[in-house]
Structure 1
């Protein structure tokens, strides 16, 4: 059953008066998404500084936000991509999670405001995510970062981008990544799994919403099978960085996330997977009122510290 604390969050969301994402305009969906994040009760951690920077890429400007912990660098760096189905979200919607990770893992977090669909369709988000990760490696010392200790991470659509950037970095042999943090990631479009069927129209994220996201993200449905959109379809996952794959019991994306973790493991990639019972999609945002959310964040922080400061994953 869904955790009673989560039920309270979902009940509050249901009573907000907002329309379903897939029944409204993109502009209104973005407004509702941002508003919903301000209504979540999250634990707010402090860091030494938060700095907004704008990168110049071949495809335009990419805003990033750099979270620097207390202490003296150089610090390891986590490049983080927000969720929102490639259509919604920005630097503010993942602000508290980035603060939490930077504070607890004693790492710099670089949050990336990649281009969104439908204004910028696939592979625009992928291009921005990879460019920003390359920029971090090349410029880490300018913001007290350590270019030899770089990881990528993200939640939902951001987890997809982290997985894809890991594959691109392997293929291009740059940048050298230490770790990939995949939080309830979307790793294949159009997948009909048991969790899609069981949870697809019930809790927070729905199959109807995911179809709406896909319709906006892709110019052509054939793009859905591109490995840079659906990394689960990649034939070869060998040589990718160690991974932590986090899923939620009542999330439509649960099964594909777990399958991706299993495929990584069978390809010789050090991987840990964890499915949180009673949780739903986006539960990392509930740290101020859902016990399992704070537990998940704290365990994620421990994993990051282990990777960044010992270079050996726990068995």
Structure 2
């Protein structure tokens, strides 16, 4: 029997339709960014956390802003914390530190790790590979300076750094893992990938089954890829489309996919390819969910989002041994 759409997801889709929210691909980039902010930033809820600090570093192409989330019980020099470099979703063009603030807080608290959210340059102002190079620069910098210039009390374990993200952020996390392997560092211990986009191609069954009606559409993804890439040729590059890469010697991965998501099958295919390359994978399947549900954490009715945070955090905790 086919899985049914979760009632919470169904209610959201009905509400968006009733409110007359236009599809992303029919909006300008500026308007789509505002729409995404409206959908993801809570007006009256912010999960408590130990400490939040905004920092800036000088990357090879300018300043990169980051937000550091320390869990409520904090780390110490004597017992340093694992760290997760988190790259937000939004199709490489939308999203920012604010749209994923609540997800970063929740992951830091649930996993007991320090989450470093990266405000990479976005397309179309900065197309591929600019966002990826920012994410890699931030990762390399953290590995070199685990105290984040905030003092030793941050307590990051420089030997345990993971990369992760949702949607386009998952693509960037995988790209960072490939760059780290190909450039000889930094050493990464895990990829945490939430419904990632893994190929500049639209020929999977899930792109047909979920082309319309489930929040993220095929037309949205075609538009977002067009904003991200300067040419279609760039879409064949393995750092843009990791399914086209040699995946040997990458860090173990957690791959979360949703049943009602155009990107479902490429996430599954990436997990398959990793396993074929000898890379350990943990698959998290949410067959009744839509793309983007992790960013619905501000609504207490979305227990599936909280379950996903718990599942992701459990993988991080198990991998780190903390």
Counterpart in the other structure of 1:149: 160
**What residue ranges of structure 1 are gaps of 5+ in the alignment?**
311-315
Counterpart in the other structure of 1:279: 289
2-structure distance, mates of 1:36, 1:292: 17
Alpha carbons 1:40, 1:285 under 8 Å: kept: no
Counterpart in the other structure of 2:151: none
* Per-residue deviation, 1:11: 1.7
1:93-137 CA deviation, whole Å, 9 max, x = no partner? 000110011001110000001001111111000100100000110
TM-score, normalization by structure 2 = 0.92
Alpha carbons 1:41, 1:285 under 8 Å: kept: no
Counterpart in the other structure of 1:22: 25
Counterpart in the other structure of 1:247: 257
Alpha carbons 1:245, 1:272 under 8 Å: kept: yes
Alpha carbons 2:259, 2:290 under 8 Å: kept: yes
Residue 140 of structure 1: SS of its match in structure 2?
A: coil
1-structure distance, mates of 2:222, 2:49: 37
Alpha carbons 1:177, 1:241 under 8 Å: kept: yes
1:140-174 CA deviation, whole Å, 9 max, x = no partner? 13442111000000000000001111111111121
* Pair 1:187–1:149, CA change in 2 (3 A): same
Q: Identify the match of residue 47 of structure 1 among 49, 52, 58.
A: 49
Alpha carbons 2:85, 2:117 under 8 Å: kept: yes
1:39-60 CA deviation, whole Å, 9 max, x = no partner? 6998x53221000011111201
Runs of 4 or more consecutive aligned structure 1 residues displaced over 4 Å after TM superposition: 39-42
Alpha carbons 2:40, 2:296 under 8 Å: kept: no
TM-score, normalization by structure 1 = 0.94
Counterpart in the other structure of 1:291: 303
Select between 125-134 and 269-278 the one with higher mean Cα deviation: 269-278
- Asked if residue 125 in structure 1 is aligned to residue 131 in structure 2, the reply is yes
Residue 223 of structure 1: SS of its match in structure 2?
A: helix
Counterpart in the other structure of 1:31: 34
**Count of matched residue pairs:** 308
